[in-house]
Homo-oligomer: A and B are copies of this chain.
Amino acid sequence: AAPPAGAGAADRPRAMQVLDRYIIFEGDEGVVVIDQHALHERVLYEQLRKRILAGQVESQRLLVPRPVELSAREAATLLDHQDLLSQLGFGIEPFGTNTVLLTRYPALLARADLDRLLRDLAEQIGCGGPAPTRRDLLDELLHMMACKAAVKAGQRLTSEEIASLLEQRHLIDDAHHCPHGRPTALVLSQAELDRQFGRMG
């Protein structure tokens, strides 16, 4: 029997992870090197932002609310921003001077260290400069959450994870930068590669 059409093409890997942190694939613009963490962060940031605008952040409710010990200042900061945090999917209740009760958290952060997460949130809110706008603050927290939930550099990905990440790349507008403005992609055009190899055509 004849091989199915396109069988030869299917044999070729379309993308490859290198150094456990970059993904290389062939795009329309040439050879593209992707920073897996930066791209994933960017994808998650955009997804979260859309969900928040639509009021649809998925939240995971804790069966038993979790007391989290903080400094008095950190606890006060979080309680001062209960509304904002609720929008992001966090349920925070008062529980004494140095402690808050975490009742729910964004499903996206299921694998995060929740105690540390709350301390980081308090710090991030506190660092916003003199009276940051609610919008700026929300944006900063989104960045933080996206960064924490994204795959890390050094994490080995399966071919399915690589394919999924590259697919999501097309869903966002400016895929070439992470939310912090760092590039997520480095493009080696064919012309540039040819030049480097002395293939002047």
Of B35, B186, B188, B196, which contacts A183 at CB under 8 A?
B196
* A17 contacts chain B at the CB level, 8 A cutoff: yes
Contact B12 A17 (CB under 8 A): yes
* A72 contacts chain B at the CB level, 8 A cutoff: no
Contact B159 A11 (CB under 8 A): yes
- Report the nearest B residue to A183, measured CB to CB: B197
Q: Bound state CA distance, A12 and B196, in angstroms?
A: 28
Q: Bound state CA distance, A13 and B157, in angstroms?
A: 12
Q: Which of A135-174 contact B (CB under 8 A)?
A: 153, 156, 158-159
Q: Bound state CA distance, A199 and B71, in angstroms?
A: 32
Contact A197 B35 (CB under 8 A): yes
Contact B19 A199 (CB under 8 A): no
Q: Bound state CA distance, A12 and B156, in angstroms?
A: 9
Contact B197 A182 (CB under 8 A): yes
19 residue pairs from A and B, CB less than 8 Å apart: A11-B159, A12-B16, A12-B156, A13-B159, A16-B24, A18-B31, A19-B26, A19-B31, A22-B193, A22-B197, A24-B31, A35-B199, A153-B199, A182-B197, A183-B196, A183-B198, A184-B197, A186-B193, A186-B196
Listed in ascending order, the chain A residues whose CB lies under 8 Å from chain B are 8, 11-13, 15-19, 22, 24, 26, 30-31, 33, 35, 38, 153, 156, 158-159, 182-184, 186, 188, 190, 193, 196-199
